[in-house]
Amino acid sequence: MEDPQSYPEEIGPKHWPSSRFTHVMKLRQAALRAARDKWSDYILFVDADNLLTNPQTLDLMIAENKTLVAPMLESRSLYSNFWCGITPQGYYKRTLDYPLIREWKRTGCFAVPMIHSTFLIDLRKEASAKLTFYPPHQDYTWSFDDVMVFAFSSRQAGIQMFICNQEHYGFLPMPLKSHQMLQEEAENFVHTLIEAMIDRPPVEPSQYVSVPLKHPDKMGFDEIFMINLKRRKDRRDRMLRTLYEQEIAVKVVEAVDGKALNTSQLKALSIDMLPGYRDPYSSRPLTRGEIGCFLSHYYIWKEVVNRELEKTLVIEDDVRFEHQFKRKLMKLMDDIAQAQLDWELIYIGRKRMQVQEPEKAVPNVMNLVEADYSYWTLGYAVSFQGAQKLIGAEPFGKMLPVDEFLPVMYNKHPVAKYMEYYESRDLKAFSAEPLLVYPTHYTGQPGYLSDTETSTIWDNETVSTDWDRTHSWKSRQQGKIHSDVQNKDALPSQSSLHTPSSRDEL
């Protein structure tokens, strides 16, 4: 078959005119014909940008013994490769069943009116002989669209489509809109790749696929530090590959392992807990894991000052990245520079704790707010002056967790007696809105492990803690923030980039 480089009616590389749908349907029909000619038992269709991460996917689909079956694929939203409802005109229809299946609240193999992108046809079944991709059935009157044409063919052949979600099988990217360009598609696919790596090994390209070289850079920062415990090679490897895929260059900083700290080391550093400090959820004192975390960040601040780095990014090793992370962060920092904003700390990942009223939007800088009381140090930018202030506070003799220390330093901690121990509290702190990094796992999810909360009490290494299991509030996911207190003033109008096409509402 001919391989057109473009189509006469298209307005861009992501536009699908009828001629493009026709070409794809002919390709699939040719593949189906070739499989039948070879007397194949099965044919598996997989779109080029779909990632099957479960090596047992094919065996599992065959075992279902269905004529037409698909493994449910995941994306960064509710979007997947099936519909639960379809209108009389053949378009997507919202149903109550869809989110229950997509979010694994119901598991099994379900009869649905539409599967697409990745699916298996059992050619041994007699009814499969009636399936066609092209030409459309003689009674077809729906919109000219490849997945809708095939769904109609399946219906006319009396074949029920099924979607299976008993396992995690793989990923697919969100569909783009017709006016978007190839660069956006590349970013979309990279994000799909890095999401697939969170709980699984990297998806390696085929030896027959040519992959362009990456050119990592520091995104305009003087340095990017990634904090990692030496014993957590799993996190280090995942993060380095994730960052490489996004073309981001980092310096790995070996974290201070709180579990390895002993009493004599703490005395040598003159470390003492802030008087009266208690964890707000569990009422426990400081842990050695939290001391190790604090020291890890502190030593980076020291390096920032010693090297006179004007603009530095710090990220921890257990984060997942927002779609188009690099582009969005670089634009935010450019906008901040254009506005000549005097900043010293900018969260790019945190847990917002003050949710009674909106945070103040920053004039002339979209997607930025003045930070209120927050938890977590997943990721933040720090300036030279900011690092100087954090070190100058001399926190070793009055230590509390680093994510409690930062709000004290910008005078937003709700516990006034903690702030009394720090005279200077004028750190100029802001936050990206929406956030650009999030935790890979939250308390209660498979794969969650806290290296800071699960350790020992700071001044007694014989008293172990397991607070992440028994007192899990601090590490739980950000709760839904009421619309009245959302930071809407910092947000631009809804970008078309985040609005899927009408066919793929989810």
Give 311-366 pLDDT, tens digit per residue: 999 999 999 999 999 999 999 999 999 999 999 999 999 999 988 899 999 999 99
Binned at pLDDT 50, 70 and 90, residue 495 comes out as: very low
Question: Mean pLDDT score of the chain, rounded to an integer?
Answer: 90
pLDDT at 35 over 50: yes
Which of 128-132, 366-370, 394-398, 501-505 is the least confident region?
Answer: 501-505
Q: How confident is the model at residue 503 (pLDDT cuts 50, 70, 90)?
A: very low
Mean pLDDT of 442-456: 57
pLDDT of residue 23: 95
Q: Which residue has the higher pLDDT, 502 or 57?
A: 57
How far apart CA 413 and CA 401 sit, in angstroms, is: 12
Least confident range of 97-106, 155-164, 269-278 = 269-278
Model confidence at 448: pLDDT above 50: no
Among all chains, which residue has been given the structure tokens 């099936």?
82
Instruction: Name which residue leads in pLDDT, 478 or 395.
Output: 395
Of 344, 341, 335, residue with least CA distance to 381:
344
Q: Which residue has the higher pLDDT, 499 or 140?
A: 140
Question: What span, in angstroms and rounded, lies between the C-alpha atoms of 273 and 190?
Answer: 43
Q: Alpha-carbon dihedral of residues 339, 340, 345, 348, nearest 10 degrees?
A: 30
> Which residues of 260-386 form beta strands (DSSP E)?
311-316, 319-321, 345-352, 368-370, 374-383
Q: Is the dihedral of CA 294, 297, 303, 306 positive or negative?
A: negative
115's enclosing H/E stretch is strand 114-115
Average pLDDT on 132-139 reads: 95
> Higher confidence at residue 505 or residue 432?
432
Cα separation, 444 vs 349, whole angstroms: 20
**Mean pLDDT lowest among 9-23, 160-174, 338-352, 367-381:** 9-23
pLDDT value of position 58? 98
Q: Which element (helix H / strand E) includes 70?
A: strand 68-71
pLDDT at 459 over 80: no
User: Has residue 113 got a pLDDT over 90?
Assistant: yes
Q: What percent of the chain has pLDDT over 70?
A: 90
- Rg of the chain (C-alpha set): 26
pLDDT at 106 over 60: yes
- In tens, the pLDDT along 273-313 reads 999 998 887 778 899 999 999 999 999 999 999 999 999 99
What per-residue confidence (pLDDT) applies to 497? Answer: 37
Q: How confident is the model at residue 134 (pLDDT cuts 50, 70, 90)?
A: very high
Taking 50 as the threshold, does the pLDDT of residue 502 lie above it?
A: no
Q: How much is the average pLDDT of 160-166?
A: 98
Please tell me the least confidently modeled range out of 126-140, 198-212, 410-424: 198-212
Q: What is the widest separation between alpha-carbon atoms in the chain? A: 84
List, for residues 40-96, the tens digit of each pLDDT value: 999 999 999 999 999 999 999 999 999 999 999 999 999 999 999 999 999 999 999
**Mean pLDDT calculated for residue range 426-432:** 98
Which of the four pLDDT bands, split at 50, 70 and 90, describes residue 499?
very low
Confidence category of residue 457, pLDDT binned at 50, 70, 90: low
- CA-to-CA distance for 449 and 232, rounded, in angstroms? 11
Q: Looking at residue 498, what is its pLDDT? A: 42
